[in-house]
Structure 1
């Protein structure tokens, strides 16, 4: 099947061909004809399946005829984060170059005055995050009565971020007779309830089992301990044929410390997290694109939305707290028909998180027996009286803190100390043999990184080596 078989206009087909695409993905092949026929739609698809183009392409043709009016957008796309919103806007720019559609972003982190001016001119496509949209609606700067097409994207992520009440309120302000498209990687009960309430006789398209992982990604669990995680990671980085890699951590402080440690040991690494200013993020991503660095240490701010092509490996330095984040993290590799490898370091504290991931995906992740952890176990622990200068490599001895003393990492003395729980302080030296409960939410002192604040990013679709 080709895009020409889906009923798209010649102008749109020309733009798709110019972008280098000839055959639609399964979600595109199933969704595009239904959208063109003005049907409501539920699309269940994992990340990296071409879901965005599945609604952007038919929307361009649907909106090709008609006029926009001031403060009354003709269509609305709701995204959970500004990064995803900006990526959708780039898709409209790429595929709609032969059409004269006006597109506006309504997201936080940019001047509200500029967004109001764009709305006053009239827009065909409004791409918004729920919070900023509700803000401007409350100020009387936008009317939704002329919006006849609604897209709710990443609905499961909306649920995680607490946006469902906002979405329900937004839906009540739209015309009752409209076309609604809902896309989600999973279909938990609250999302099913939302669809039942606001979609009319929708067609359901499921291109893969909910929360399934990409079959082109080889997954491994690597058993280790908290004291040996950095050494295990570095051995994997050296043993694997790593072209480009993203390393995920749950905490921003760990991202900073880990990047410093990798740089000291000779790796070409950089970092990206929500505390960084916009110019810093752009600079790091430009370095990653150009090949100046080939390892990017990231918090979950990069797990969704960033489409970085050519990533050969993903390493979960920390097992994610939310199991669906695992699917999105490892989805940064194995994209566009390529293959990829994903390693997850597993300490005894991660047992419950790993169990939840395997329960969600319906698969048992194989345990790594490639020798990396075996080498770490076989390496003799430094004698307490031995000077650190006798370590095999500069910096190596500083990470081999295998004694049970509850000290913070010596790699980054200026970084904040991670508070230890009482039960950890009493743990014997080989405590990794006895699983302990997963950390509670109160233990997450640094907290997850849900996104960043800043101007509209323009770096969200990179092809390495381009």
Structure 2
């Protein structure tokens, strides 16, 4: 069954939503008193549309497929009902009662923080299984019994294969950022995990995008689900101002465009800058640091402690710019990010929705700028097709770009090419001052002395057809100088080509097969 919810105003309890579920308070959703007290202490009174739509069905233990824009409170949509359902009963050692799968370590850690905030009135054991943390510490938590198990698929399977987990007691399975989990190579792991837990489980899917091909996979894990759509899939928040910025394709030119963009934002408080590759994250971070910007880097190759420390510094305001890969694009709740810059256009258009969703959260305004080169045009078109709207260009599109200025790198490449041509000319049989004149020298002679060009070309042609002598006496270097010309003559031999063993045939090879010894 599908329930469409169309918010006419931003979320977090402001009036004006036309929905199948009328705008209510948290007290009307059926949550327990302990959960309501924690929500009130956190400063919330009215649920967002996705929360109002999903929580009642989750409390009824129905399967749910929830689709909503980033920053609309999807995490609380499953954390709050889970806390209410887990008040009865306790977990046994190594047998978790609920399982939450997340695509990244940062998202898993963030969900654990939500359980700490909203579950402060509960005495639940929450275990976080992610990479970068020792197995021993995680094993001790599992031995005490985990009411809530939050993990990435790889680390969960590692513990299971080591015999540290029994999955037969799982009552609720949550797959957060479902499209990412199913679209990033996690499909075999998710299928294996689903077979390890009871078939009678409750399954909750939440995501900002749900393409049709991914939906078919999700349906394999859901039983008669309630589909809650707050907005159409892959829609972007109306509070985010989006702009494309034209640039030439060289990295140094894109970096210059980015620096100018950052400096031009008078209302910039902080910003996340996204790159497609981890290598580009490191290079861009070093460039910004050299130019005096307050910047940090975050990507998947960093160890877990460094990643969490960098993210915390950005949240605390110690860093103004965070250069990141798509590891920071999904679900990270940093409430007050004012700007997002896409240094690279995302290859998958769905990632664009998640990236710019880091700003403009919870009804706040934000700005997103994407640097586009001519090579990125098809990806930019795919983004506009996905979100169903045209993105305006800042200061003109790609056709308005001035011609690129030559760089020192280009000059260096041209000089290197000229040196290479001279090297080839010398290898053909002499110094360029003699007969083997390089092509660029011929061009110079064509302008200086046209009458002499033809004779030089004829001499060069004759030199190319001149027989080469491979004897040591004919070498241009002394006969005892083996090193200076070894590479040139190593494939030749001065003597006759040997056949078999040469002129001397060993006696044993002359013995006939039927000879008696």
TM-score category by the smaller chain? 0.7 to 0.9
> Quick check: 1:27 aligned with 2:50?
yes
Choose which of 119, 124, 138 in structure 1 pairs with 2:161: 138
What does residue 287 of structure 2 align with? 261
Q: Alpha-carbon deviation of 1:160?
A: 2.5
Q: Alpha-carbon deviation of 1:205?
A: 0.3
User: Contact conserved, 1:224 with 1:373, CA < 8 A, in 2?
Assistant: no
Per-residue CA distance 1:410-455 (angstroms, 9 max, x = gap):
xxxxxxxxxxxxxxxxxxxxxxxxxxxxxxxxxxxxxxxxxxxxxx
> Quick check: 1:360 aligned with 2:386?
yes
Q: Say which SS state the counterpart of residue 346 (structure 2) adopts.
A: coil
What does residue 105 of structure 1 align with? 128
User: Contact conserved, 1:235 with 1:372, CA < 8 A, in 2?
Assistant: no
Per-residue CA distance 1:3-24 (angstroms, 9 max, x = gap):
1111112211110111122221
Query: Where does 1:82-231 land on structure 2 (aligned, <5 Å)?
Result: 82-227=105-250, 228-231=253-256
> Quick check: 1:337 aligned with 2:360?
no
CA RMSD in angstroms comes to 2.5
Q: Alpha-carbon deviation of 1:159?
A: 1.9
CA distance, structure 2, for counterparts of residue 140 and residue 369 of structure 1? 60
Structure 1 residue runs without a partner (length 5+): 385-399, 408-466
Structure 2 residue runs without a partner (length 5+): 1-23, 415-517
The higher radius of gyration belongs to: 2
User: Contact conserved, 1:250 with 1:318, CA < 8 A, in 2?
Assistant: yes
CA distance, structure 1, for counterparts of residue 93 and residue 176 of structure 2? 25
Cα–Cα, structure 1 residues 149 and 276, in superposed 2: closer, same or farther, change >3 Å?
Answer: closer
> Quick check: 1:232 aligned with 2:264?
no
Q: Say which SS state the counterpart of residue 367 (structure 1) adopts.
A: strand
Q: Which deviates the most, 203-212 or 359-368?
A: 359-368
CA distance, structure 2, for counterparts of residue 113 and residue 51 of structure 1? 32
Q: Say which SS state the counterpart of residue 115 (structure 2) adopts.
A: helix
Choose which of 343, 346, 349 in structure 2 pairs with 1:320: 346
CA distance, structure 2, for counterparts of residue 61 and residue 373 of structure 1? 57
User: Contact conserved, 1:232 with 1:372, CA < 8 A, in 2?
Assistant: no
Q: Say which SS state the counterpart of residue 199 (structure 2) adopts.
A: coil
**Number of aligned pairs?**
388
Per-residue CA distance 1:231-275 (angstroms, 9 max, x = gap):
221221121122211111112232222223223333222222233
User: Contact conserved, 2:67 with 2:207, CA < 8 A, in 1?
Assistant: yes
What does residue 40 of structure 2 align with? 17
CA distance, structure 2, for counterparts of residue 316 and residue 191 of structure 1? 25
Per-residue CA distance 1:262-313 (angstroms, 9 max, x = gap):
2333322222223334454455444434434312222222222432222111
Cα–Cα, structure 1 residues 283 and 151, in superposed 2: closer, same or farther, change >3 Å?
Answer: closer
User: Contact conserved, 1:232 with 1:373, CA < 8 A, in 2?
Assistant: no
Q: Say which SS state the counterpart of residue 293 (structure 1) adopts.
A: coil
Q: Which deviates the most, 57-66 or 160-169?
A: 160-169
> Quick check: 1:272 aligned with 2:298?
yes
What does residue 38 of structure 1 align with? 61
CA distance, structure 1, for counterparts of residue 305 and residue 295 of structure 2? 18
Choose which of 93, 97, 108 in structure 2 pairs with 1:70: 93
User: Contact conserved, 1:236 with 1:372, CA < 8 A, in 2?
Assistant: no
Q: Alpha-carbon deviation of 1:220?
A: 0.4
Q: Say which SS state the counterpart of residue 76 (structure 1) adopts.
A: strand
Q: Alpha-carbon deviation of 1:114?
A: 2.4
User: Contact conserved, 1:86 with 1:105, CA < 8 A, in 2?
Assistant: yes
Larger relative contact order (CA 8 Å, sep ≥ 6): 1
Cα–Cα, structure 1 residues 286 and 177, in superposed 2: closer, same or farther, change >3 Å?
Answer: closer
Cα–Cα, structure 1 residues 204 and 126, in superposed 2: closer, same or farther, change >3 Å?
Answer: same
CA distance, structure 1, for counterparts of residue 257 and residue 28 of structure 2? 50
Q: Which deviates the most, 264-273 or 295-304?
A: 264-273
Q: Which deviates the most, 199-208 or 341-350?
A: 199-208
CA distance, structure 1, for counterparts of residue 344 and residue 215 of structure 2? 31
CA distance, structure 2, for counterparts of residue 291 and residue 4 of structure 1? 34
User: Contact conserved, 2:58 with 2:81, CA < 8 A, in 1?
Assistant: yes
CA distance, structure 2, for counterparts of residue 171 and residue 226 of structure 1? 45
Q: Alpha-carbon deviation of 1:164?
A: 1.4
> Quick check: 1:251 aligned with 2:277?
yes
What does residue 490 of structure 2 align with? none
Cα–Cα, structure 1 residues 293 and 187, in superposed 2: closer, same or farther, change >3 Å?
Answer: closer
What does residue 51 of structure 1 align with? 74
User: Contact conserved, 2:169 with 2:198, CA < 8 A, in 1?
Assistant: yes
Q: TM-score, normalised by structure 2?
A: 0.70
